[in-house]
Structure formats: C-alpha cells, structure tokens
Amino acid sequence: MKILQLDVNRIGFKLIAPEAKVYEQTDQKETSVDNAVVLLTSVEAEDSEEIASKAVKDALDFATKQKRTTLVFYPFAHLSGNLEAPQRAMKLFHYMVSEAKKSKLNVYSAPFGWNKALTLDVKGHPLAEMSRSYAKDIVTEEKTHLTLLPPKPKKVDLSIVRKSDFSGLPDADHRSIAEKLNLFSFQEVSPGMAYWHGDGYIVFKELVRFIREKLDEYGYEEIATPAFANVALWHVSGHIDHYRNNMFLLSSEGEEMALKPMNCPSTMLVFKSRKWSYRDLPVRLADFDKLYRNEISGALTGLFRVREITQDDAHLFVTDGQVQGELTAVLKLVGELYRKFNLPFTAKLSTMPDSHLGDEELWERATTALRNALEANHVPYTVKEKEGAFYGPKIDFDVMDSMKREWQCATVQLDYQLPQRFGLEYTGEDGKPHTPVVIHRVIYGSLERFIGILTEHYQGKFPTWLAPVQVKVLTISEQANQYAQEVYAKLRESKIRAELDVSDKTLDYKIREGQVKQVPYMLILGAKEVEQKKVAIRGRGNRQKLGVGLEHFIKSLQKEIEERDEGQNIFLSGAEPKEAPAAAKPTTTKARGKKAAEK
C-alpha cells in the first residue's frame, strides 16, 4: 500500500464521471473539507486488512498528534504501478474508512473509481507532506511511522534503461519546454532525479554563480559535507522521529547509515569542530551539497518534486545581539535575488507547531525576533499559526510568476534548539561558554524546483545572462562565411556563449531554429555586413538594428550580462530601432538573400 499523507488547510473534490468498470455508486457530487489529514491511497496487490489497519492506525496517531479532528480518505491510483484489482481494492479502501470511523475523528471519503477534479491547499509545516509504504512482510519501528521493506530478490527489468516519456504535457509545462531547449531529461532508472544536459546545466551553474557572488558580498564561507552518515547524527538532531520515512537508509558493516535529507546536522558538526570566540561571530556557512529525500514515486512532478535536491543552503551562527542585524541582511538578500527575476514575493510567519522541541519561552523569543525583523524592514507578512519547523519558527516567502501562480521558495528559520542538542559553544566577552543562535536560510529553496519555476515563468525565454546560447551568428550566403567565423571567434574570446550557422539552409529556416531555441540575439551577416564590417542584430519580439559595430555590440552585451539585466538594451542605445511590418520582414530577408546570391 502506498499513501501520500497531507495535512491540509482545505481539500475539495468534484465528481466528473466514472473512470472504471468498478466504481462506487453515490449521490455525492462535490465535497469540501477544512483542516484535515488527507490520505491519498493506492491499494496494491497482496495488501491485506492487517496492512490497512496499520495504515489507519498511523494516520490516526498523526492526526491526534497534530490535533486534527478530521480524516479524509482519497483513492489515488497514481502512487503505484502494482495496483490491486479494482473490486478488491474498493473493498479494502472501504474497510479502512470503516476502521477509521471507530475513532472519535470525523471521517470523510472520496468515492472510489471516479474521475474527480481535486484541489488541495497543503499546510506549510515540515510534516505536512509524508509518504508511507506498507507491504506484506512489514517490520515496524516503535518510535517512527516507518515501515521497512526487506529486499526481495527479483529479476532485473532492463527495459527501464530508457528516458522518461513526458509527451502529451501542455506546451507551457517546464518538461515540455526542456525537451525543446534540450535542458534536462529524466531517466526511468533514476526516478525523481534530473539528468542535466549541457544547456540546462548552464542555467544551473549561472544561478549558483549569481548567489555565490552574493554570498561573497555578504561574508559567507562555503563548506561541503559527506553525502551520508550514521543515523546517530539524526537522532541527536531529532530529525529521525520526523523524517525517517523520507530518508534513504542503507547498511554498511553493521552500521545503519542514511543519505542526508538536509544539511543542518552536518553543518552543526563543522561549527563544533573548533573553538570559537564571540569575536569570531557571526559565522556564515553556505552549502550546495546534494540532498536525497525518498518521495513516493507517484508524487514526483518533474523538477517541482524530486528525490535528489540541491539547496542554496546556509546556516548563520550568531550571538543574541546579532540576530536582528543578520535577519535584516537575509531579508535584504531575499529581495535582491527575487527582484532580479522580476518575481514579486510575500512573506508568511509560521509559529510553533504542536509537535516541537524546546520550551515555549524560547519559541516566543524566536518568534518575536522574526516578527521584529519583518516589521523593522517594512516587509508585509501574514501569520500561519502552528506551521513552524519542529525546532523553530520560520518566515516562508512565496513568489508569484508571470502566470500569477504562487510558489513557496525562500525560508528563514530561527533556531535555539539544535545548537543546544549538539552542545555548540563560543566563549563570550565574559570568558564563559555561551550557546549560539542559528539562523537557517535558503533563498532559491531547491535549485531544481527554482529552475522549473523560472522555465515556466519565462516560458523558456531566459534573460541573456541565463540563456544557454546568448548569440547565434547566421549567414545569408556563402560569401559571408569567413566574416561569420571571425565574428563568432570574437564573441567566444569575449566569453559570450555563441553558436555559428554557416550551413546552406535558408535564412528564414536558420532564424526559425534560433527562435525555437529562444536565443536572445541573432547576428545576421550578408554582403553588406561583410563590406562594412558591421552586424545586423535581431532580438526578441522581432526587434532589429542594422549596421552595428561588432565591438559596440559586444560591450553592450557584456554590460547586459554583467548586470544580469532582463532587457535587451542594445535596442535602446542610439536611435530608437524601427520595427518593420511583420509581413515586410520576410520579403526584406529574401531580397537581401537574392541580391547576395546574384553577386
């Protein structure tokens, strides 16, 4: 059995039509439930009432712990490729609902076998989304909700050594855009992990380069820590009780190890490895290591939800007196980055959840510090009660893309708990040991997810500094080929990402290829450009500028790239470019090509 458990502000579903021969007869047409624990459930072959009872018990325990009074069961076949036959699956699903109704909770269920329009508003706390797996040979750990599945020998399926097929998705989906632009792919052998192609990895590296420059400016030091460690590390941090079900566990020489799902515990060890004075603080440690989270396969959604994650993670070790100043600097950094992408953002202050570490006095102190920082820096915010991390309150930032969709990206958390659990110390001005406060923060969030957001935000038309190919050099005729080679070489010498096309394809075809690849600038070279040693520039939106000196173009482009400007400022310098009527442009192009051919 596969379950995606969600703690939601609201779930709504509307019945469309039966989608299977076996479906539940019902007069229910539309349902909406607030503040509930939702179980998206796939019933698998060989599932039993014993397994179903275990799943219900875990859900009831979670709901009770979170002080939720409502449970919603939702049949969801997309979590598994090993589904039970519909008739028996429906019977077992109804058994789960009936078992849950024996509790004191309000229990709802969505009709089985129907195509439904589903809407979800998931809460923002770390336990709001949890995946669970149950099987016939279950081994359950008392202190966690994890079900460990012992390995079963089976024949290796070599047919999965292939690219994942995302055909049929909308053109605006980042996976469709990536296919056209050759940015990345997903492979069946590595579910939920992106294979970055050359052009896509350029976007990835440019984003990392951008924030690394900012980190240098703000006084950060970059570190790296091992990809996996003994689970004792997460027992000390307290993460094991909350995240184990989403960790990749392995055994080595009798030790239980895990791939790291977050950087916090490892960074605590780096800080603890030496002695610190109050004069050394603040210490700002940044980390771009890969993280691994065992998400249910049915919940994976392109770059938006993956198993291998790269975060622009950082932990700031500060004194009490430095908290406000460092929070102000982080808020400033958030604004600088998001404004560069033209992404409006809103802030949400999340307070102490019911399940938390530490005493309420420290929580109130941390929450007040975050609230004061937001207000002192005139950042509007809303409050999300009880949705903080289990070790501290946090500020979440939602960005709005060009399609008016909101995405949660940056997070700033104030933590008094983990430094205590790891025994972190610095020597204060009084000569005595003191415990530092830790500010956890990410700006992009997940690099993978942020690239997915930007790909759809720009619809593949990345600003020049992010574009995999910044300039494409095109020739009208063979006569311009030698000059085109010189122009291309000069662009490459100037560290501009350029491509050259001196093929015998028609100019219209070459331009169309550049447009499909969303190249910001095309330099079109014919006999006139060869004679004058100039370039004709074609930008986005059919903007054109003729007779431009190559050096002038390169300097203008370098400035645009260096400043990470979204505009194409070459068209704003000098005389305002005149746009020819759309119908006239192909005629002009063909005429120039014809004259060149005649010569």
* 293 is an active site residue: yes
Topology adopted by domain 210-222+261-458: BirA Bifunctional Protein; domain 2 (3.30.930)
Find the catalytic residue in 68, 305, 307, 315. Answer: 315
Residue 593 confidence (pLDDT): 41
pLDDT band at residue 242, thresholds of 50, 70 and 90? confident
313 labelled catalytic? yes
* Candidate list 58, 313, 398, 415, residue with the active-site label: 313
- How far is Cα of residue 251 from the mean position of the Cα atoms in its chain? 29
Residue 597 has a pLDDT of 38
Mean pLDDT across the stretch 546-558?
A: 95
- At a CB cut-off of 8 Å and minimum separation 6, what does 444 contact? 207, 211, 311, 312, 337, 409, 410, 450
Check 311, 470, 518, 568 and give the catalytic one: 311
List the structure tokens of 585: 């442009």
Active-site entry in 356, 394, 434, 472 = 394
**How do residues 428-473 score in pLDDT, each as one tens digit?**
999 999 999 999 999 999 999 999 999 999 999 999 999 999 999 9
Q: Which CATH class is domain 471-598?
A: alpha beta
Q: Which residues contact 256 (CB under 8 A, 6 or more apart)?
A: 230, 231, 249
Comparison of pLDDT for 251 and 437, the residue scoring more: 437
Mean pLDDT of 267-291: 97
Of 56, 58, 51, 60, which is closest to residue 84 (Cα–Cα)?
51
Q: Provide the β-strand partners of residue 252.
A: 255
Is 394 a known active-site residue?
Answer: yes
Backbone angles phi, psi at 475, to 5 degrees: -110, 145
Contacts of 378 (CB under 8 A, 6+ apart): none
Is 197 an active-site residue?
A: no
pLDDT in tens, 354-401: 777 777 888 888 899 999 999 999 999 999 888 877 778 899 999 999
Mean pLDDT computed over 3-8 = 88
Q: What digits encode the pLDDT tens for the residues 114-124?
A: 888 888 888 76
Q: What is the pLDDT of residue 170?
A: 92
Q: For the whole model, what pTM was predicted? A: 0.76
> Residue 539 has which token pair?
């930008």
| Architecture of the structural domain at 2-152 | 3-Layer(bba) Sandwich (3.50)
**Cα–Cα dist 108/146, whole Å:** 25
Domain segments of the chain: what residues? 2-152, 210-222+261-458, 471-598
Q: Rounded to whole angstroms, how far apart are CA atoms 408 and 449?
A: 10
Encoded tokens for 217? 């400016």
Q: Is 311 tagged catalytic?
A: yes
pLDDT (0 to 100) of residue 160: 85
Catalytic residue chosen out of the listed positions 264, 307, 441, 568: 264
Q: Using an 8 Å Cβ cutoff, are 38 and 117 in contact?
A: no
How far is it, in rounded angstroms, from Cα 193 to Cα 187? 8
- Whether 471-598 and 210-222+261-458 are alike in CATH topology: the answer is no
Tell me the range of 65-69, 216-220, 252-256 where mean pLDDT is highest.
Answer: 216-220
Question: Is 101 marked active-site?
Answer: no
